[in-house]
Amino acid sequence: MAKKVIVGVSGGVDSAVSIYLLQKQGYEVEGLFMRNWDAYANHDILGNPTLNEEICPQEQDYNDAKKTCEILGIPLHRVDFVKEYWDHVFTYFLEELKKGRTPNPDILCNKYIKFDAFKKEAEKLGADYIATGHYARLKDGHLLRGIDSNKDQSYFLAQLSKEQLENVLFPVGDLTKEEVRKIASDLHLNVAKKKDSTGICFIGERHYQEFIHNYLQPNPGKIIDVETKEVIGTHNGLMNYTIGQRRNVGLAGFEKRHYVCGKNVAKNELYVAFGEDAKYLYSDACILEQVNFIHKPEKKELTAKFRYRGEDYPVIIKTTEHNEIRVEYKEKVKSVTPGQFCVFYDDEECLGSGIIKEVENNGEKLWYLTD
């Protein structure tokens, strides 16, 4: 009897091709569409609805998923995880912004929704395995990078536990995006040419600041020149800026290039540096919190990514006297940002990750964030 696989069908090309590949391998395949965000419930701080589209993008994705499953001849189930998403992902996102940090909610979505709530729902449907369209690979329980280095998504899976990765399949992990597109085109799938979704899932194509202001009131404050300590402008809320940001800082009229280099949450001040010298952005170590290892590293010298699509930097992992994980880099790294994830690799294997809590340079804590 064929093993049953429940595929997380998103309405995109990767999950669509995953269905086809699993069918070819002889599995009994069914689809499950997750509704994680109630777009029609979006309201601003005054209670006014904010969604004006004729059809919600999420509903369009569902319609695309339904059409894909019809073409490939499998049933499609639908489940709401709106409450779970709000409790475990969106609330975390807002709290991190309030702290002045730069969160990555997609990593938490995988941890709490796609490989927890979704997996439990799939088990109710009799699943032997679950599958997603992530560009990643699994070998003997070890999480590996996807073959396509431009699309590798192991970074987003680095908070998963070893147990969460049991009975999981990543059908497109051994393919390039170009190969996936070709398969979809040859099958005449409705999503063969559909654009990949970008940005944070619940914001979609909407303007980031406008969306955030629906939930957090803007709190304008001073922009300070880090060198002269002079007030040079007004920011529209610290949650709208991240370390290293160069565009849309709100300093029109300044010809010299400038970038965000720090925040003071207590004083509600944003610090900006001018010129090409990014000395305020470089660090050589960071302290992590909420550290998760899928497999314990067998050595202390690894590589790490400090943001998705970022470079791999050689690092050494140490444990502090306070039992915290300290990561030291062999070369200075630019814009290592509190709230983002440090993801560890041993060559092709993704070992786990932690949230960046503090950033240091030459033994001193950088004032990226002060309170």
Report pLDDT for 98: 93
Is 60 exceeded by the pLDDT of residue 38? yes
Report pLDDT for 109: 95
In terms of domains, do 10 and 151 share one?
A: yes
- How many Å separate Cα 20 from the centre of its chain? 26
Is 60 exceeded by the pLDDT of residue 50? no
C-alpha to C-alpha distance for 223 and 272, rounded to whole angstroms: 7
- What is the Cβ-side half-sphere exposure of residue 78, based on CA atoms within 13 angstroms? 13
Domain boundary residue, one of 186, 208, 242: 186
Structural domain contains residue 202: no
Is 60 exceeded by the pLDDT of residue 41? no
Residue 201 annotated among the catalytic residues of the structure = yes
In terms of domains, do 14 and 135 share one?
A: yes
Is 50 exceeded by the pLDDT of residue 47? no
| Alpha-carbon distances, residue 264 vs 98, 172, 232, 283, 322 (angstroms) | 12, 44, 16, 18, 25
Is 80 exceeded by the pLDDT of residue 198? no
In terms of domains, do 266 and 285 share one?
A: no
Report pLDDT for 157: 98
In terms of domains, do 25 and 140 share one?
A: yes
In terms of domains, do 350 and 267 share one?
A: no
Global pTM? 0.91
Report pLDDT for 294: 97
Backbone angles phi, psi at 117, to 5 degrees: -60, -45
Report pLDDT for 166: 97
pLDDT of 63-94, one tens digit each? Answer: 999 999 999 999 999 999 999 999 999 999 99
In terms of domains, do 58 and 79 share one?
A: yes
C-alpha to C-alpha distance for 284 and 302, rounded to whole angstroms: 15
Taking residues 203-229, what's their average pLDDT? Answer: 83
| Alpha-carbon distances, residue 324 vs 206, 235, 269, 287, 320 (angstroms) | 38, 34, 29, 7, 5
C-alpha to C-alpha distance for 196 and 133, rounded to whole angstroms: 12
In terms of domains, do 13 and 146 share one?
A: yes
Residue type, 18: S
Name the active-site residue from 69, 109, 342, 350. 109
Residue type, 20: Y
Tally of structural domains, the chain: 3
Query: What average pLDDT does the structure give for the chain?
Result: 90
Report pLDDT for 371: 60
Is 90 exceeded by the pLDDT of residue 350? yes
In order, the DSSP letters of 296-360 are: --SSSEEEEESSTTPPPEEEEEEE-TTS-EEEEEEEEEE---TTSEEEEEETTEEEEEEEEEEEE
Report pLDDT for 46: 41
In terms of domains, do 168 and 25 share one?
A: yes
In terms of domains, do 46 and 159 share one?
A: yes
Residue 286 annotated among the catalytic residues of the structure = no
Is 50 exceeded by the pLDDT of residue 44? no
Domain that holds residue 132: 4-186
pLDDT of 256-291, one tens digit each? Answer: 888 999 999 999 999 999 876 667 889 999 999 999
SS3 call for 229: coil
In terms of domains, do 302 and 169 share one?
A: no
In terms of domains, do 125 and 25 share one?
A: yes
Structural domain contains residue 35: yes
Are residues 172 and 180 in contact, defined by beta-carbon separation less than 8 angstroms?
A: yes
Report pLDDT for 45: 41
